[in-house]
Every structure is written in structure tokens, then in C-alpha cells.
Amino acid sequence: MARYFYDCEFIEDGTTIELVSVGAVDEQGHEFYAISRQFDPMRAGPWVRKNVLDKLPSMSDPAWKSRLAIREAFYEFVTAGEGPVELWAWYAAYDHVAIAQLWGAMPDLPRALPRFTRDLRQRWDDVGRPELPPAPADAHDALADARHNLARWQVIDAAWQRRVGSGVPE
């Protein structure tokens, strides 16, 4: 199993979800980060402007890419590991849509990518809400949040292993 923990920053208006940036990390610490050159910053609300857009690096940073380049690089990153791909995110639904839309409609997703992202927030509830590490100082940077998701996973998985080892039913 190849687990990837990721986060997307996006602009959404109740009808569309427009990718701003995506960060991902695997369990070995390999990282991926990209910012879309194709989002419309004028559509961003005040919260996204302050907490996401104002924190992005300058447009000369190599992280800025076309949606096509993000799609290809993200696919290469998450299919580089051994075994089937597992995607994990905190409140995963919107993140999954933002990623899936890089390919267009859901049926256009490559077979190597799962049709859903596993939700860390739900898993946290399932294992009894163990104390999680605090949010990073650079929260809402997609890569910082992806790293934080990995740290959350490590706490959640340790709690799960203790629970399974103690014989507590699921």
C-alpha cells in the first residue's frame, strides 16, 4: 500500500471548486507541491485571500504550474510507490474533487488513482479522538497542511494499533 497525505487549497463558490495549490507527502517523507497558474484570484473570498493567496510564493517560484503540468506531476508522484495508492486528507471530500477535476469528469481519472480519498477526520473519530499535534504556524499552505496530515495519521494510526492490540472491537 502506498499512502499519500495531501491537502488542497481552493476557491469555491457553492457551484465550482477551483484548485489553487496542492501539497502531498508520503510515509517516507517524499514531498510534492504545486500552485496552479490558472485560478482566478478575483473569485477568492476574503478568507482565502488572507489565509491562502497572501501566503503563496512569488509567481517566479517553480511551484507555479499549469493544471496539465500539476496533473502529470501529481500522478507521477502518487504512482511512484509500491502497491495500490491510498489517498488521505482532513475533511477529504472537497480535496478529492479538486484533484479529480484535474482530469475532468470522474470517469476520466486514471485507473491507478482511487475514486475516493480516505478521511483522516473520520478516522480520528473512529479511534476515539486522540490528542493531535497542533496546527503548523504556516497552516493553509498546502504542503504544510499535507505534512500536518501525515503527523495526524501517525498519531491516529498509533491509537488504532493500541486499540486493535487491546482487543477492542472496531
Binding site members for Mg(2+) = 7
Please state, in angstroms and as integers, the Cα–Cα distance from residue 132 to each residue in 90, 109, 135, 156, following that order.
Answer: 12, 33, 9, 8
Q: Please give the DSSP secondary-structure letter assigned to residue 134.
A: P
Closest CA to 121 of 97, 151, 88, 145: 88
Report how far residue 81's alpha carbon sits from residue 73's, in angstroms, rounded to the nearest whole number: 14
- Amino acid residing at 115: R
Mark the binding-site residues, compressed into ranges. Answer: 7
* Cβ–Cβ < 8 Å for 51, 99: no
Report how far residue 108's alpha carbon sits from residue 92's, in angstroms, rounded to the nearest whole number: 20
Q: Which parts of 57-147 are beta strand (E)?
A: 64-65, 85-89, 118-119
* Cβ–Cβ < 8 Å for 71, 79: no
